[in-house]
Structure 1
Amino acid sequence: MTVVISLILAIVLVALDQLVKHWVVANVALNTAHPLIPHVLALTNLRNYGAAWSILEGQQWFFSVVTVVALAVILYLFYRWR
């Protein structure tokens, strides 16, 4: 039961993350901010072509490979410890 709840929570959080990103792209101009709570919290539309702090900028192939390997490992672990 805990696994099901965790999976549902993960799906909801990923969906919420993607919805917020879509809203920002559609409603906030590039390189500007939309304040949610003035002087406390704002959503900013920026482009990052790398990882955190633009590390490995322009190396999308690397992130694709890492993602595929990570998914393969996770699926293997799920299968092994089912």
Structure 2
Amino acid sequence: MKVKGYSYVVALVAILLDQITKIIIMNRLELYEQIKVIGDFFIITSIRNTGAAFSMLEGKQMFFLIITPIVAAGIVWYIHQQRRSGNVWLLTALGLVLGGALGNFIDRLLYGHVVDFLSFNFGSYSFAVFNIADAAITVGVIMIIIDTLREDRRARAAAKAGRDPEQPKEILHTED
């Protein structure tokens, strides 16, 4: 599989899904309007968030407008460092984080807030309302953590076997 632009395709898909769903929410629902999808468990809820996840740093839009391009540039740099590895799992994760960050950045630039609409309730506990960009970031970060743990396990196994963890396992050739 060619991975040269793979992360950017993943990022673009995340951005498009995020922005399309937000446009639908803004055009079809009034602010704070709700649509029950699965009883009280899953509700589409139209809200606006001027902070980050869980409304942290509420009202600090300038901070997000400055920090997001810096973070995005760091992700792009890391994608270029990793693309030769062919690690599709990691490149997918990085694309998701990049796409999610840019999806919310677009909202902040255009509207001065982020459009959130996915609401889940677990009995009396209501999870923070979020959007597709937030989900992409979360899934991407979880994938990066899993990749890091897998790489650590591979490195320990290689060290235990007495070989360089950066070198692929030796391939045995047999004649038929």
Q: Give the CA deviation at 1:20.
A: 0.5
The structure number with the bigger radius of gyration is 2
Q: What per-residue deviation string (whole Å, max 9, x for no partner) do you get for residues 16-37 of structure 1? A: 1111011011111111212334
Taking the TM superposition and a 5 Å limit, the aligned residue runs for 1:1-82 are 1-77=2-78
Aligned positions, number = 82
Partner Cα separation in structure 2 for residue 79 and residue 17 of structure 1: 24
Q: What per-residue deviation string (whole Å, max 9, x for no partner) do you get for residues 31-51 of structure 1? A: 121233444432110111111
- Normalising by structure 2, we get a TM-score of 0.40
Q: What per-residue deviation string (whole Å, max 9, x for no partner) do you get for residues 37-74 of structure 1? A: 44443211011111112111111111111112113323
Partner Cα separation in structure 1 for residue 80 and residue 13 of structure 2: 23
Could you tell me which runs of 5 or more consecutive residues in structure 1 were left unpaired when the two chains were aligned.
Answer: none
* SS of aligned partner of 2:19: helix
Partner Cα separation in structure 2 for residue 45 and residue 30 of structure 1: 5
Could you tell me which runs of 5 or more consecutive residues in structure 2 were left unpaired when the two chains were aligned.
Answer: 84-176
The residue identity in structure 2 corresponding to 1:70 is: V
The residue identity in structure 1 corresponding to 2:44 is: L
- Normalising by structure 1, we get a TM-score of 0.75
The residue identity in structure 1 corresponding to 2:73 is: A
Tell me, yes or no, if the aligned pair for 2:7 and 2:79 is still in contact at 8 Å. no
Partner Cα separation in structure 2 for residue 8 and residue 77 of structure 1: 16
Q: Measured at CA, do residues 71 and 6 of structure 1 come closer, stay the same or move farther in structure 2, by a change above 3 Å?
A: closer
* SS of aligned partner of 2:21: helix
Instruction: Give the number of the structure with larger relative contact order, counting CA–CA contacts within 8 Å between residues 6 or more apart.
Output: 2
Show structure 1 runs of 4+ deviating over 6 A. Answer: none
Q: Measured at CA, do residues 68 and 5 of structure 1 come closer, stay the same or move farther in structure 2, by a change above 3 Å?
A: closer
